[in-house]
Amino acid sequence: MLRRSVAGVVVAVTAAAGLVAVAPAAQAADVELLSCVGTGANTFDPGVTLQLRPVTITSTANYGPCVSSGSPAITSGGYGVVVTGLLSCLAGSVSITVTITWSTGETTTVAANGVVVLRPANETVVVYQGTVTAGRFSGAEVVMTAAVVNTTPLQCLTPEGVTSSSGAAAIVITQAA
């Protein structure tokens, strides 16, 4: 079970969307192994409308700067993935498995579930919670956040829907002490 509060993650993402990066505070029993801020971008097929429906999401994230424990130090990383989620302009959920390639050449594979937790001012704030299943930090817990801005909110009302979004992203990897 993840030891991070969703409220703490929402604060972190909301701050990141305002161009201020704040990582959620770890509980005393957690050791932070890595934290990064960065950006993410998505395309949606079909476009996201007010109707909840299956959507193919092509998603990328570029993390950096990063702070990591251990050696060699990780300074940046990123991933690209194509997944299908159940989305609308008002709600949604998606399960992902991503392999992040770090500046060290190492990889981390994460399996996580994401839900929309907040939608202020045309932002879609998604919190992914999961586990590192392979690579560096194997067995650790992960919270990935994305605060993507819908620059065309009226597109939600059209048959085409919203076809892309981008914005702030963050990742925190912890392990119980």
Give the containing element (helix H, strand E) for 12. helix 6-17
Those residues whose C-beta lies under 8 Å from the C-beta of residue 3, and which sit 6 or more positions away, are 26, 27, 29, 30, 141, 174, 176
> Looking at 18-32, 40-54, 152-166, which range is the least confident one?
18-32
For residues 109 and 99, the answer to whether their CB atoms sit within 8 Å is yes
Nearest residue to 63 via CA among 94, 103, 109, 28: 103
Q: Is the peptide bond before 65 cis (omega within 30 degrees of 0)?
A: yes
Mean pLDDT across the chain: 84
pTM of the full structure: 0.81
pLDDT digits (tens, 9 = 90+) for 27-80: 557 899 999 999 999 999 999 998 999 999 999 999 999 999 989 999 999 999
| Domains of the chain, residue spans | 6-165
The type of residue at 18 is: G
Give the containing element (helix H, strand E) for 6. helix 6-17
Q: What is the mean pLDDT of residues 153-163?
A: 89
Give the CA distances from residue 144 to residues 44, 132, 175, in Å, rounded to whole numbers and listed in that order. 19, 12, 15
